[in-house]
Amino acid sequence: MDAETPRGPSHEPEKQSPGAPPPPRSADSAPELAGRRARPKPGRRILFFAIGLVVIAGGYFLWRYFGSYESTDDAQVDVHLYPVSARISGYVIKVNVGDNEFVEQGKVLVEIDPRDYEVAVAQARANLENALATARSLNITVPITSVSTTSQIKFTASDVEGSRAGVAAAEKQLSAAQAQVAQAEANDVNAQDDLVRYKQLVDKQEVAYQVYDRALAAAKASTAAVAAARATEAAAQQAVAQARSRLIEAEANHESAKTGPQQVSSTRDRALAAEADVQQKRAALEQAELNLQYTRIVAPVSGEVNKTVVVGLNVTPGQQLLTVVPLQEVWVTANFKETQLRHMKVGQKAEIHVDSSGRTLKGHVDSIAGATGPLFSLLPPENATGNYVKIVQRIPVKIVLEAGENKDLELRPGMNVVSDVYLQ
């Protein structure tokens, strides 16, 4: 409800002529004017409040944004370098690749003179054929020797038995001959006695000369019979000696035949040794063939080549000739401070900003090193001695590029990049 206006004479201000000085203000109007200036306007207060909210919200979102990732410029492109070295010695006759040339896996890079190794393969193959022939002959000999040994043992055993029977028969014949000798000698003694008696009787002419003559003939016949019996005895003794000799020989042959199994075993061992020699010669042939293959040095992986070999160089085993850089397998090693790894985990997304081109590539955290970089150095730090100064350490983090990010093979090992790892 509006306030009522005071009744009475009109209080309208008098009109002032132009150029006249303004009328003097009364003392009561000065505080009222100061009060109107000191009172703030409602629109300005709302504007200040809105600006404050915007600043607070912006700060919060900036804090969330900068706290959502960790970044470092201590990052470089890495890759496993593949050194290519000679596995044999020889003379380089051909180099099939130039400096910084891209090669595919399996391409022949260097060729070594193969003639010496071809001769070695031929010699090894001939040695193998000779060893195979020897092994085959010994394998055939083993069963033949085994059968022959068995037969010989049986034959010599029967021969021993026959010889023993022969000795027994000869000894019996000797005994019979000795009995005949004794009989002949007894008959001869009787005949000689009869001859003496008939001699006395004939001298006295008591008997006829015919009787004496018969006695004389009988005496001579008995003497001859004794000689024949003694000869028969001697022959029997000789037969016994021969039979015993044959027995000794048969027993010796039988003992020799008994060593046949050992001979078979020895032959079998020689056959096994021949088989082992075959394996050895076969291994030598395989090694010679491998050495022949090593005369052609191939690329272990696809990549660019950095070579130090030229035609005419005499190389030795283990001498490095080339280095293959697989550009398609590069990754980024980012050395983050230890304070930046609080929320970092394997699998988190990452961005790689390439210094040389300004491009941004996508990747993810593949792994975090098990120790700080200085621990892998030749002389790791020893904090237990001297004056200790705490230094924030850096830990290598391996970041792998996503598929297709490095199609043009722009990244080269050793290039500097900036790595951002998003923690959310």
What are phi and psi for residue 272, nearest 5 degrees?
-65, -40
Asked if residue 422 has pLDDT above 50, the reply is yes
pLDDT over 70 for what percent of the chain? 80
C-beta of residue 181 within 8 angstroms of C-beta of residue 230: yes
User: What is the structure's pLDDT at 1?
Assistant: 35
Q: What is the mean pLDDT of residues 308-337?
A: 94
For residue 309 the two structure tokens come to 């070999």
Tokens of 5: 């206006």
* Per-residue model confidence (pLDDT) at position 126: 95
342 closest CA partner among 60, 70, 63, 62 = 70
Q: What per-residue confidence (pLDDT) applies to 41? A: 60
Give all strands of the β-sheet with 82-85 in edge-to-edge order: 82-85, 320-325, 303-307, 102-103
Distance separating alpha carbons of residues 212 and 214, to the nearest angstrom? 5
The residue that leads in pLDDT, 10 or 203, is 203
Domains of the chain: 69-80+327-379+387-422 (2.40.30.170), 83-114+293-323 (2.40.50.100), 117-285 (1.10.287.620)
pLDDT in tens, 69-116: 899 999 999 999 999 999 999 999 999 999 999 999 999 999 999 999
How many other C-beta atoms are found inside a 10 Å radius of the C-beta of residue 86? 21
More confident residue, 31 or 250: 250
According to the model, what pLDDT value does residue 362 have? 95
* Residues in the chain, total: 424
pLDDT at 366: 95
How far apart (Å, rounded) are the C-alpha atoms in residues 289 and 70? 56
Chain-wide mean pLDDT for the chain? 81
The reported pLDDT for the residue numbered 347 is 92
pLDDT tens figures, 134-143:
888 777 665 6
At 294, is the secondary structure helix, strand, or coil? coil
More confidently predicted of 176 and 254: 176
